[in-house]
Amino acid sequence: MSARSRLPHLPHVSQSPTDPDFFNDPYGFYRDIRAMGDFVYWTDYDMVMATTHQACAAVLKHPKLGRAAIDPAPVREDEKLKHFKALERFSLLELEPPDHGRIRRAAMGGFGRTRIAGLAPDIARIADDLISDFPSGPFDFIEHFAHPYPARIITRFFGLPESMAGALQGWSNDMVAIYQARRSPELDARADASAREFATYLRQVMAGRGSVPQEDFLSELIKAEAEGTLHSLEELLSTVVLLLNAGHEATVHALGHAMNLLADFPERSLALSLENIAATVEECLRFRPPLHMFHRDVYEDVVIEDQPFARGDRIGVLLGSACHDDAIWPDGEHFDPFRPRHSNLSLGSGIHVCIGASLARLEMQIALPAFFSRCPNLRIVEPPKLSDRYHFHGLEKLMVRCS
């Protein structure tokens, strides 16, 4: 039974996610639906959507909701997405306890606060190298910095050659494209081919790394599989691919938005100061979150914010709307790095909160002051171009000039 027939009393809204007017600026739509209540029914998705910060947080944290399919379909060998689904099968994004907790604990070994902080010198070096290579004339910030910066960092973190960063990012981009609104058979085919190439490369690396371990996170995960914390090579592959993908995808979008927001910000120097940079990064993430929608499946009948849901319902979580909720951030559609801080949902919440959130924040806290210190006269020379990739929200191109 569709959400339309099950929940007819909810406000119904219609908005194509591939409409350029929408994906270029979805915040007016979000403002309108928040005014309708905590939940609306979005006809284009045939799905109930949580609109407010309070409702989105409740859905993300509810123990009777999750990502794992309630009645997963059997995997057929002739499926067009068999390589992609093989990697997704044990992805942390698609698992629930107890398997989720076991695998996440193994993965979190690399993302502890002390270890992430220890990456700062390498992160600063990579940022400095990329800035030093900027062209003398106009250039695309997304191409020359936002894309290669987090890709090189996460590649180095795993102990893989930095020369592989481009290939890994290409595979990752093809795979995550399957989650966007303009999904097509062509995108599916690319996602499956990239999943196959990604897995083949990692199997080759792991075969050598297992016999000659190194001081890197990939070797630690291989050891976890050998000791039984990770139960199989398939779990190991899924975990590595997820972390490599998540280790740069959101940061690319967040960096592009932050650069666009700060380029002409009148109090930029103060916002980027040592005492304010953490708050500035949080405001950038809140004001322009890199991911705008996630979903949860309902495992048992529940009531959330006075709205009943039945087992089998699916609820969309509009992170982009939640992050602009005036009930939490007065004048939330105004960019203000100096506003009182409040936790936001830009990188998720609950047990599925982004595992690389601390790394993403550190990368931005290092890159933004470094960039504007080296390029104090930066200016944007063309109107920014948004990507048609909803549920993601990022800039496809940001043409700038440093001199």
Could you give the domains of the chain?
3-71+80-381 (1.10.630.10)
> CA 112 to CA 96: how far, in whole Å?
22
Rounded to two decimals, the pTM is 0.91
> 187 burial class (0-12, 13-18, 19+ CB within 10 angstroms)?
middle
State how far the Cα of 216 lies from the Cα of 180, in Å rounded to an integer: 32
CA atoms within 13 A on the CB side of 155: 19
d(CA 5, CA 273): 53
How far is 373 from 260, CA to CA, in rounded Å? Answer: 16
* Confidence at 145, pLDDT banded by 50, 70, 90: very high
Residue 173 has pLDDT above 90, yes or no: no
Give which of 308, 288, 292 is closest to 300, Cα–Cα: 308
- Which whole number is the average pLDDT over 242-254? 81
**β partners of residue 392:** 291
As beta bridge partners, residue 100 has none
pLDDT at site 105: 85
Report the DSSP pairing between strands 47-50 and 314-318.
Answer: parallel
Give yes or no for residue 78 having a pLDDT over 50. no
Which residue would you say has higher pLDDT here, 246 or 241? 241
Mean pLDDT to the nearest integer, 369-378 = 94
Q: What gap in Å lies between CA 387 and CA 382, rounded to an integer?
A: 15
Is the bond preceding residue 98 a cis peptide, omega within 30 degrees? yes
181: confidence class by pLDDT, cuts 50, 70, 90: confident
Beta bridge partners of 302: 309
